[in-house]
Amino acid sequence: MSSHTLAEVLESRMPEGDGLRYPVPSEWMQGRTTFGGFSSALMLDAVRTKHKDLPSLRSALVNFTAPIGTSPTIGTEVLRQGRNVTIINARAEIDGKVAAMATFSFGYPQDSHVAFECPANSAEEPENTGHYFPPDLPKPPIPFLQNFDVRLIDGALPFSGAEKGYLRLWARHKDPFMWDRMEGLIAVADLPPPAIYPTLKKPGPNSSMNWIFNVLTEEIRTREGWWLLEHQLTAGRNGYSSQVMRVWNTDGDLVVDGMQSVIIFV
């Protein structure tokens, strides 16, 4: 497990001006920037730290505008506080320049007769599923992956020239403290590589432009911290791809439904 867990990073936040400053350990990097799920979790933590007694997180719009290679300062602003929904913006800056932004919507539960489910397809238990990367590797190919236990259910490895862009994984934080926290779930939800990666025949860099997701639960609850992730390529051309990203708990309940735009430089 990483010597700087997500929980430790969140607890290390320090006030700076009207915002909060967060450390960026090397264990949470991918290339010259932090892992996007990590950055998103920091912005959510800043919002929930600065604004108490919020209802449940319902949706988020995240934009990754520049690399976060050093400690960001995150400021927050309430855009609207209504009777049912509160919308708050988070802005991560480095040296006064925007590196990431997120708009979070929090809402109280509503009385409604509407109830539609999207149950997960059956899958082997995570304990019976093979590791995504060989467990005897001295270290994972990308630093932030050392914080997670990842098992491959279906799909191919990156740059394997597969016919379809699809990944289905079990994943969890190695740190049990993050198993039942919203920030932990958000970090896990962005863990897989771009869904187009299995279709590529050679390595190349990528950059996530944005991430839009809805949260369909008020309880961060799953067995032993395991979440079932499914990332599916919708389309890709001219160096840009669009993908659907979903997360279920071990009971088969859909908890996160999202999509992402990724630039592919290969």
Domains assigned to the chain: 6-108+118-264 (2.40.160.210)
Q: For residues 32-46, give the mean pLDDT.
A: 97
Share of the chain above pLDDT 90, in %: 88
Mean pLDDT of the chain: 95
Q: For residues 9-14, give the mean pLDDT.
A: 98
pTM for this model (two decimals): 0.95
- Span 107-166, pLDDT tens digits: 999 999 988 999 999 999 999 999 998 777 777 788 999 999 999 999 998 899 999 999
Q: For residues 192-215, give the mean pLDDT.
A: 93
Alpha-carbon distances, residue 215 vs 19, 84, 105, 196 (angstroms):
25, 16, 10, 24
DSSP letter string, 123-160: ---GGGS-BSS-TT-SS-SSGGGGGEEEEEEEE--TTS
Q: For residues 23-31, give the mean pLDDT.
A: 94
- Span 68-110, pLDDT tens digits: 999 999 999 999 999 999 999 999 999 999 999 999 999 999 9
Q: How does residue 221 score in pLDDT terms, banded at 50, 70 and 90?
A: very high
DSSP bridge pairs for 100 = 64, 92
What tokens does 80 get? 């609207």
